Amino acid sequence: MRKTAILGIGQTKIDEHWDLSLREIGGNAAFAAMQDAGLEKVDSLFVGNMLSSTISGQNQLGTFFSDWIGLWGQEAVKVEAACASGAAALRSALMAVASGDIDSALVVGVEKMTDKAGRDVTSALATASDADYELEQGISFVGINALVMRRYMHEFGWKHEDFAPFSINAHANAMHNPFARLHQKINIKQFENSSMVATPINLMDASPTGDGAAAVVIVPADRVASVKGKPRITVAASASATDSIAVHSRKDPMFLSAAYTSSKKAYEMAGVTRDDIDVFELHDAFSIMAALSLEACGFAERGKGVRLGLENEISRNGRLPICTRGGLKARGHPVGATGVYQVVEIAQQLRGECGETQVDGAKIGMAQNIGGSGATILTHILKAE
Amino acid sequence: MRKTAILGIGQTKIDEHWDLSLREIGGNAAFAAMQDAGLEKVDSLFVGNMLSSTISGQNQLGTFFSDWIGLWGQEAVKVEAACASGAAALRSALMAVASGDIDSALVVGVEKMTDKAGRDVTSALATASDADYELEQGISFVGINALVMRRYMHEFGWKHEDFAPFSINAHANAMHNPFARLHQKINIKQFENSSMVATPINLMDASPTGDGAAAVVIVPADRVASVKGKPRITVAASASATDSIAVHSRKDPMFLSAAYTSSKKAYEMAGVTRDDIDVFELHDAFSIMAALSLEACGFAERGKGVRLGLENEISRNGRLPICTRGGLKARGHPVGATGVYQVVEIAQQLRGECGETQVDGAKIGMAQNIGGSGATILTHILKAE
């Protein structure tokens, strides 16, 4: 199996892009990544996207984008795994390059969500849950997460305000990320007093959706040298695991077994332990998910994930900096694009390009992307070499 | 790059399955393939599907099915490339196993199309075209193909009835395939007199959609031995190519450049020429597509694809038997499943399991799956060893 590396990265600002179409948003990130990689052509294109068929009436996004960005004739495909579509597309690309059948791949995670009314987007997002046994009962995606959060608070004795540090940290970091959706610092009072979405999840627990795209260029690692003093970014691990699609089918709805399995595989593959991770971009779609991810990946004991926030371990200078570019909470969550944003951000940290939110001496970074309510989880570990 | 093989195959009858849900249809094909392979577990699941988000309100089909068929925890993903989703999922699985990162993969192509009214299905299928520049103008998918067929007839001087042999051959072969959608022989009179869909395409030029699923189990070739006198089926080539998504952007709308490129790559990869192909399952979504595919893959000169039908070269005893299990025209076209059905059928031919439509001594078979109006085309070559 060939070792792979990230040769180029690109991203667009996450926003309500009324002036840009689906193809322009994805194209802009793709062009940025190709330019960063110094390439004019790649062998193949892997697109991560969840909602274009429902929201934009457009399927076959692989070819849709290979056509638009000038990769005429080249192989192209779309990969979908709900909100984990971005990382799933990346993993498909990594295996394709690792197989030797393809020598270079462009991965684009893209989502255009604001072309429909909010209620239509809520319905579209609910297709990530079990249509027959969850969606059909009328529960929304945030509703499912709210049930899990309430149970967690009850079981482990945490109050709503104990989750505040996750959102405060994310918003503070996003202030220094020009691509972030929200540039607005928040305090605990604002966290507690914001509008309720699905109790106990309020607006400050929930990540904003949006239009956006991120892209990376993947090549065999032996074709990459460190350039201009920037380290070579290699892919040390790529792992994917699943759980039941419906939350009610799980023995313990508060344990992200797919995060546990995929992070365990990833640590082994990369030859590291959790203590070696310098920076972690986790999937804080809701504040409860930050706590559950930290626990499943071994950074906190069961029921104690919120402590890392309360003890200030998650900020830039803490033991485990997370959401350093704003996370889903403040960078934004254009669902099928998110997994690629996370990997772009880890690459930025390892290159030392993060300015005010740079983690000093970051050499090993992890990104974890979650589809559905913990149903599909991918973990990637990158190394600066 | 590791060589791969097909260890097991499975399929369901294509029909209007009012009594079966999306998960049951896909599950039934998956169980059949696993049983045929003699395996209880595989490392990973790749699902090919185009329409479940629109028609069944269900995304994240990888995990949806890994959950249902008992592959709890295992990696799973959905791959989409419009009507080429099945072959695209297969190719992703092949590269994953070839990379060495995964040791076994189940590929399921599945589609449940009859849960919505016909007009909704027509709209959903149109998402395979360019939403901004084709779909938005109100043209349907069959309408686009009708424009191409009319131009072809004009340019090369063929009459509508000259396309009849493709459909007559497909219907005759489907009589012997218990999984086929249609069991009804047709003659030239019925071909000419059937209802018009989009002139010059009538019902007998067009393939029927339906509910169905097909599945294959992929493993490294060195783990497969010939069993019970049946040959080992190896994957000699897998290739994918694209064209512009909109037909009007092509220099020549009657030339399937992605079929040309992917078949050329596949011949080279397999170390064969077109004359070595014993049986060819092509993508006859419309009769015009059969002619264009034969030309692009080198079996006929430009504008002369219909001759192979008129000269009876495409039947079981002809120079190049095609659609031996009924093709899209009569076996049926459950869009995202079709590419996997084709590969299952080639495997059946190479195993010698096709009874009345068995191609004598078939050793090398080719399957070609087309997404959109020739926008994404994958070619696979299998060998009996």
Q: Are the beta carbons of A93 and A85 closer than 8 angstroms? A: no
Q: Which of B21, B79, B99 sits opposite A95 (nearest CB)?
A: B99
Determine contact: A82 vs chain B, CB below 8 A.
Answer: yes
Q: How far is CA B308 from CA A217, B293, B304, in A?
A: 44, 12, 8
- State the CB neighbour count (10 A cutoff) for residue B171: 25
The pLDDT of residue B225:
82
Single-letter amino acid, residue A235: V
The pLDDT of residue A212:
98
Burial A352-370 (b: 16+ CB within 10 A, else e): bebeebbbeebbbbbbbbb
Single-letter amino acid, residue A158: W
- State the CB neighbour count (10 A cutoff) for residue A133: 13
Residue A243 with chain B: CB contacts under 8 Å = 63, 67, 72-73
The pLDDT mean for chain A works out to 96
Q: Which of A57, A73, A88 sits opposite B127 (nearest CB)?
A: A57
CATH architecture, range A4-117+209-223: 3-Layer(aba) Sandwich (3.40)
Number of H helices, E strands in chain A: 12, 11
Q: DSSP alpha helices (H): ranges in A43-182?
A: 52-55, 61-68, 85-99, 118-125, 141-156, 164-174
Beta bridge partners of A75: A44
The pLDDT of residue A225:
82
- State the CB neighbour count (10 A cutoff) for residue B20: 18
Determine contact: A227 vs chain B, CB below 8 A.
Answer: no
Yes or no, beta carbons of B99 and A102 under 8 Å apart: no
Structure tokens at A247: 């939350």
Yes or no, beta carbons of A257 and B73 under 8 Å apart: yes
Q: Are the beta carbons of A114 and A17 closer than 8 angstroms? A: yes
Q: Which whole number is the average pLDDT over A164-178?
A: 98
The pLDDT of residue B229:
77
The pLDDT of residue A118:
85
Q: Which of A67, A126, A261 sits opposite B244 (nearest CB)?
A: A67
Residues of chain B with pLDDT under 50: none
Residue A258 with chain B: CB contacts under 8 Å = 73
C-alpha–C-alpha distance, residues B347 and B281, integer Å: 11
- Min Cα distance B105 → chain A (Å) is 13
Residue B371 with chain A: CB contacts under 8 Å = 60, 63
Determine contact: A229 vs chain B, CB below 8 A.
Answer: no
Reduce the secondary structure of A283-334 to three states and give it as a string. CCCEHHHHHHHHHHCCCCCCCCHHHHHHCCCCCCCCCCCECCCCHHHHHCCC
ipTM score of complex? 0.97
Q: For residue range A185-221, list pLDDT tens digits in order.
A: 999 999 999 999 999 999 999 999 999 999 999 999 9
Q: For residue range A52-110, list pLDDT tens digits in order.
A: 999 999 999 999 999 999 999 999 999 999 999 999 999 999 999 999 999 999 999 99
Residue of A nearest to B71 (CA): A242
Yes or no, beta carbons of B57 and A102 under 8 Å apart: no
The torsion angles phi and psi of B224, rounded to 5 degrees, stand at -110, 130
Beta-sheet strands, E only, within chain A: 4-11, 44-48, 75-80, 105-111, 196-198, 201-202, 212-220, 233-242, 279-281, 364-371, 376-384
Which residue matches tokens 């329409």?
Answer: B51
Structure tokens at B57: 């309100």
C-alpha–C-alpha distance, residues B63 and A97, integer Å: 24
Yes or no, beta carbons of A99 and B99 under 8 Å apart: yes
Q: How far is CA B88 from CA A79, A82, A266, B46, B84, in A?
A: 10, 18, 26, 9, 6
Residue B101 with chain A: CB contacts under 8 Å = 1, 95, 98, 238
The torsion angles phi and psi of B319, rounded to 5 degrees, stand at -70, -35
Q: Which of A80, A126, A132 sits opposite B80 (nearest CB)?
A: A80
Residue B298 CB contacts under 8 Å (≥ 6 apart), including other chains = B260, B263, B274
* A364-371/A279-281 β-pairing: parallel
Q: Which whole number is the average pLDDT over A262-283?
A: 98
- State the CB neighbour count (10 A cutoff) for residue A61: 31
Residues in chain A, total: 385
Which residue matches tokens 């309360």?
Answer: A310
C-alpha–C-alpha distance, residues B328 and B212, integer Å: 12
The torsion angles phi and psi of B241, rounded to 5 degrees, stand at -150, 165
First CA to last CA across chain B, in angstroms? 19
- Min Cα distance B50 → chain A (Å) is 8
Beta bridge partners of B359: none
Q: At what angle do helices A257-270 and A287-296 cross, to 10 degrees?
A: 50
C-alpha–C-alpha distance, residues B324 and B337, integer Å: 17
The pLDDT of residue A29:
98
Q: Are the beta carbons of A242 and A87 closer than 8 angstroms? A: no
Residue A333 a catalytic site member: yes
Global pTM reads 0.98
Determine contact: B242 vs chain A, CB below 8 A.
Answer: yes
The pLDDT of residue A203:
98
The pLDDT of residue A229:
76
The torsion angles phi and psi of A279, rounded to 5 degrees, stand at -155, 140
Determine contact: B81 vs chain A, CB below 8 A.
Answer: yes
Burial B293-330 (b: 16+ CB within 10 A, else e): bbbbbbbbeeeebbbbbbeebbbbeeebbbbbbbbbbb
Q: Are the beta carbons of B201 and B141 closer than 8 angstroms? A: no
Interface with A, mutate which of B63, B67, B263, B264 (most A CBs under 10 A): B63
Burial B26-46 (b: 16+ CB within 10 A, else e): bbbbbebbbebbeeeebbbbb
The pLDDT of residue B230:
81
SS3 content of chain B, % helix, strand, coil (to 5): 40, 20, 40
Residue A80 with chain B: CB contacts under 8 Å = 59-61, 77-80
Residue ranges of B 195-214 with Cβ closer than 8 A to chain A: none
User: For residue B196, what is the DSSP state?
Assistant: E
Taken in order B160, B163, B168, B170, the sign of the CA dihedral is negative
What radius of gyration, in Å, describes the C-alpha atoms of chain A? 19
Determine contact: A310 vs chain B, CB below 8 A.
Answer: no
Q: Which of A76, A371, A375 sits opposite B376 (nearest CB)?
A: A76
